[in-house]
Chain A
Amino acid sequence: MPAESVFPQLEALLPHVQKPIQYVGGELNSTVKEWDDCDVRWALMYPDAYEVGLPNQGVMILYEVLNEREGVLAERTYSVWPDLEALMREHRVPQFTVDSHRPVKAFDVFGLSFSTELGYTNMLTALDLAGIPLESKDRTLDDPIVLAGGHAAFNPEPIADFIDAAIIGDGEQAVLDMTAIIRAWKAEGRPGGREEVLLRLAKTGSVYIPAFYDVEYLPDGRIGRVVPNRSGVPWRVSKHTVMDLDEWPYPKQPLVPLAETVHERMSVEIFRGCTRGCRFCQAGMITRPVRERSITGIGEMVEKGLKATGFEEVGLLSLSSADHSEIGDIAKGLADRYEEDKVGLSLPSTRVDAFNVDLANELTRNGRRSGLTFAPEGGSERMRKVINKMVSEEDLIRTVATAYGNGWRQVKLYFMCGLPTETDDDVLQIADMAMSVIQKGREVSGQNDIRCTVSIGGFVPKPHTPFQWAPQLSAEDTDARLEKLRDKIRGDKKYGRSIGFRYHDGKPGIVEGLLSRGDRRVGAVIRAVYEDGGRFDGWREHFSYDRWMACAEKTLPAFGVDVDWYTTRERTYEEVLPWDHLDSGLDKDWLWEDWQDALDETEVEDCRWTPCFDCGVCPQMDTHIQIGPTGKKLLPLTVVK
C-alpha cells in the first residue's frame, strides 16, 4: 500500500468546504515521523468532527504514548463533514490522517475511540472513504486491523461485524502490548495472514476478536450462549487497568489546534475511576478502582503542559473532581502559582456534597464567578435513593445558599428523566427543588435577579451497570413527563421566570439505548442507516430518528425482535446479556443485588471510605484503590524571567 500524502489532491478541494483549517493538521505539539523508520503504524480516529475529536484526551494520550516509542508511529484522523465527504468521493480522495495526510488504509492498525455509540455510522463512513471493506470478513492483508476502544467498546457487539478487534479499559499499556505482537508477526513475514495475528492477540485474553465467537440465539430471540470458535480463545476477555497514574503523565505535550474546538484548555486527569456507586453511571462502574494522580504529579503536569501550550485555562478532570483526597491543596496551590499569569482553573463534575466554598473561591480567584453546576440527577429523595446519588435536598439548599451568599448569581442543575421506578411525581419534584433554590437564593443574596437553570435529558440504561436489566422509558413517555415538568415550572408566578428549563427530547435516547444494549443483530440497522445517508448522529441537525426507526423496521423483524425489545423491555436474571463475555471486573451477581437494592431504595456507600462491598473488580482484575492524602503541598514555582 503506497503511503504517499494525498494533500495535493485534498488541497484543491479545501477552498470549497467550511472551516478548511480542520483538515490541514500542523497543530502545535503534533508529531510527524518518518514512515519508513517505523514498522508498526497506527491511525487513531475519534469518529466525530475535528472540533470535538481533537481535544479528546484518550486519543491524545495514545498518540503520544505510541509516538514516543522508537519504530512506532501514530497519526490522527477525524470525521469529515458531508461537504468534504461529497468532494472526496467525487475526486477519489481517501480518508486521510491530518498529520501527514496519508491514506488510512496504509496503516497497520486503524484504532477508533468510541466515547459514545453515536459515532458508529461515522466509523462506517470513514471505512468506506478509506477503501477498507465495511465488514471484517471481507478484509485482506492490505487492510489495517480495525480496532475499537473507549467506553462504548465495553459492549462492542452492535459493531462486531465491522471491527476486527476491541480493547476494553485503559489503553496506555494495551496499545504497546498490541504493537509488540504486530511487530513480531510482521518481522516473521506475517505468517498465517490476518487470522494468525488476530489469534495471537486473542490468546492474550485481553483483546476481543468478535469473529472468534459464535452467538447462539434462543427461539424467543434472547441469546442462548456466546462460544469461542477457535482453540486457545478465552471465554471471557478482560479489561485493562493502568495502576499508578504518576507513571503515565500523559498528555505531556497537549495538542494545540489552530481551529476552534469544544475544549480550549489544558486538561489534567486528576484521578481515574469512581466508586460513588451511582447506579446509572457506566463510567463509574467500568473504570474502577479509584486511582489518584498525586498532588505533585498534577502540579508537574500543569506546569509542563501550560509551558507547552500557552492555554489560559486548566481543567482538573475526573468523574467527580472534588473527591480527590487533596483537592483543597491542589486548587489552592495552583491558584497561588498562577495568580499572576491569568490562568483560570476549572473543576468539571463537582458533587453537591463535595462542594465547599473555600474550594470554589480558589477556583474563581483568577476568573469570574458566573455559574455553578450541580447534578442531583433525581428530583425526589426517593429517586436519588434508587440511583444511589446520595445528595439530600438540605445538602443542595445549603450549598446553593453558600454560593449565592458568596457572590454567585446562577446555579445550573442537571437531572435525568426516565429512571427506573420513576413516576410523574418524582419528576415534578424537580420544579419544587428549583423553586426552593430560587427562594433561598433571593433570601440569602437579598436580590431578585438570581437564576437557576434546570437541564434534563432522558436516561439510557447502560451495559455493566446495575441498570443493565432495566426497561428504558419510551420516547413518548419521556416527552410527556418533560412537558408536565415544563408546564409546572413555567406556570409558577412567583419563581417561574427565574428558572430556565432546557431539555433533550426522548428520541435520540431511544437510538442510543438500542446501540448501547444491542447485540450483533443491531449491526444490520447501523449499516442500513449508514447506507441511507446517516452521519453525525450526535448532532441534532444531522440525526434522524425517523431514519433509524425505518431502518430498524426493515432489518430487525428478520430476527424476530424490534427496537422496543432492545430498549423498553426489562431483562431477567437468567438472560445472557450480549456483553457478558466482556469482563469489566464487576461481578454480575453483585450488579444484580445492586439492582435489587435500587428497587428497594437501599443505598450503598463509597468503598473509599467504608469497607469493601464486593463489587468484584479489585480481586478479579488484581487491582486496588490508590488514594492519598500524600500530605505534600505545591510549592511556589521559582520565577525565572
Chain B
Amino acid sequence: MNLTLRIWRQPGPEDKGRMVTYQVDDVSPDMSFLEMLDVLNERLTLSGEEPVAFDHDCREGICGMCGLMINGDAHGPQRGTTACQLHMRQFSDGETIDIEPWRARAFPVIKDLVVNRGAFDKIIAAGGYITAPTGSAPDAHATPVAKADADAAFESAACIGCGACVAACPNGSGMLFTAAKLTQLSLLPQGQPERYTRVIGMVDAHDEAGFGGCTNAGECTVVCPKGIPLNTIGRLNRDYLTATAKGGGTPGS
C-alpha cells in the first residue's frame, strides 16, 4: 500500500505546531499502525530528519500509553481498538491519513504526538483508591461480593487510562475516566467507607486539572477502546449529589 500521511509536528511544548505531509510506500496490510510509523521514522532518521515522537509501550492494547487522533477519530476507525492494535488492512491503498495528538486543555502537547496526561494521575491521587495499607487486610473471603457486582466492577476497572475519552469530548471532559474508577470502587463493599469523600475529591481534582464539564455528548464511550459505558457517569452524578447533601469532606487517610 502507498499512503500519504499528514502528521502534526511540534518541536516542543512552547513551539507552534503544523501538519507536515509524508509519503510512505510499501506499507504491508499486516503492519500495525504504529509499525507503519516505525517505518516512516526509520526513513526519516536515515535521511537526517527528526523522527516523529509518539507514545507507545506494550503494543497489545492494555498499557494505555499510545493515543493518536487518526482522521479525527481517537485511536482511529476500528471500534474497541487502541492505535497499537489497529492494523493497516483497515485502510486502503492511496489513502491520505491525518495523525494528530490528543487535543485537550488538560493534556498539553510535549512534542509532536506526545502529550502530558499527568492530570489523570492527579485524579486518582485525590481519592481513586481504597485505603488499605499493606498488612491490614482481613481474609479475602471475609466479605463475599455478589457476582453481578464483581463483574460490573470489573467492567469499569478495565479502563486503561489512555485519554481517548477526553480527546473525543467536545468539552475535553475527563468524566468517563473519573466515573469508571468511581463506579468500580463504589460497587464493592470494600469501597463503601470512602464512597462519598472519594467522589468529591476526584471530581474536584478533575475540575482543577482543567478538564471540561460533561454535557452527555457521549462521544467518550464511542471511542473508548475498552467500552466503558456512559451510565458510569450517571452513577458518578448520583453519588456526587448524595455526597454534597451529606457535606462530604476531603478523602484520604
Q: Do the two chains belong together in a single complex?
A: no
Chain B positions near chain A (C-beta within 8 angstroms): none
Chain A residues at the B interface, C-beta cutoff of 8 Å: none
